[in-house]
Amino acid sequence: MPHDRIEFLQGTLDMLVLRTLLLGPLHGYGIAQALRRTSEAAFQLEAGSLYPALQRLELKGLISAKWEVSDRNRRQRIYRLNPAGRKRLRAEISRWEDFVHAVTRVLHPRPSEE
């Protein structure tokens, strides 16, 4: 039985892609690898999700892409975070944290003070 994949919540993928690009410019394959690495293989990102997400972010002007020659001497489409993307990422992260806190409070209620 292969590794159980975690389904992405709607909008979460976009946030994770933006977060990955915060570390520096990267190509599509690199983003997928980085996500797998940092999530300790919890996220197996499918190409069918990644590339639409990249297209969407680019259309929205949150990231921009440029063809560059990579260290392996191959032309790659490298994505960069735009200022708008940076701003959006901050907003998304704080929203996410609020969400997680709320969910955590529900799942693990603190013992009543009374």
Partner 1 sequence: MLFFRRLLLLLSPRHRRRRDLELDEELRANLALAADEAAESGLTPDQAAPAARREIGNLTRVREEARAVWFPGWDDLAQDVRYAARSLRRAPVFTLVAILSLALGIGSATALFSLVDWVVLRPLSYRDPGRLVYVREIVPPLAHLYPTIPVNIRHFLFWRDDARSFSSIVAMVSSGGTITTGEPETIEGAAVTAGFCEILGVEPQLGRCFSRDEEQRGRSKVALIADSLWRRRFGAAPDVAGRPLVVDGVPHTVIGVLPASFRFPKRDDLGSLSRLGARTEIFRPIDDAGGGWGGDYDYIVLGRLRSGVSREKAAAELNVLERRIMADQHLGYTPGAQVDMLQDVVVSPVRTALGVLLAAVMLLLLIVCVNLANLLLARGSARAREFALRVALGARRGRLMVHALMETLLLALAGGALGAFGARAAVRLFTSSARVNLPRLDEVQVDGRVWLFAFGLSLACGVLFGLLPSLRLARLDPQQTLRSGSYTQTVTRGGLRVREWLVGGEVALSAMLLVLAGLLINSLAHVLRVDKGFHEEQTVLVHISLPGQYRSPQQRNGFFDLAVERFRTLPGVRSAAFISKPPLTGESNVNEVSVEGAAGAALDPVTRQTLIVNVRFIGPDYFSTLGIPLLKGRALEEADRQRSVAVLSARLAAKIWPNENPLGRKITSASGVSGAEVVGVVGDVHSSRLEQDPTMMVYAPFWKRGFDAGYVAIRTAGGVPDLLAQVRGALRTIDPGLSAPELQTAGALVTAATAQRRFQMDVAAAFAGSALLLALLGIYGVVAYGVSLRRREMGVRLALGAGPGDVRRLVLRQGLRPVVAGLGIGLAVALAAGRLVRTMLFGISPADAPTLVAVAAVLACVGAAACVLPACRRRASIRRGCCGMNRAPVTLLGEDYGTHRIHYARPGHARGRVSAS
Residues within the interface to partner 1 (CB under 8 A): 27-30, 46-49, 51-52, 54-56, 59-61, 70, 72, 74-77
- Nearer Cβ to partner 1, position 50 or 93? 50
End-to-end C-alpha distance for the chain, whole angstroms? 47
Shortest separation between residue 76's beta carbon and partner 1, angstroms: 5
Instruction: Mark 3-13 as b/e (b = at least 16 C-beta within 10 Å).
Output: eeeeebeeeeb
Q: Is the dihedral of CA 30, 94, 84, 15 positive or negative?
A: positive
Burial class, 85, CB count within 10 angstroms (exposed 0-12 / middle 13-18 / buried 19+): buried
Q: Which amino acid is at 82?
A: N
- Nearer Cβ to partner 1, position 25 or 30? 30
Q: Which two tokens stand for residue 13?
A: 């993928």
- Nearer Cβ to partner 1, position 38 or 49? 49
Shortest separation between residue 53's beta carbon and partner 1, angstroms: 8
- Nearer Cβ to partner 1, position 33 or 38? 33
Shortest separation between residue 42's beta carbon and partner 1, angstroms: 17
Shortest separation between residue 84's beta carbon and partner 1, angstroms: 9
Q: Which two tokens stand for residue 78?
A: 């490298």
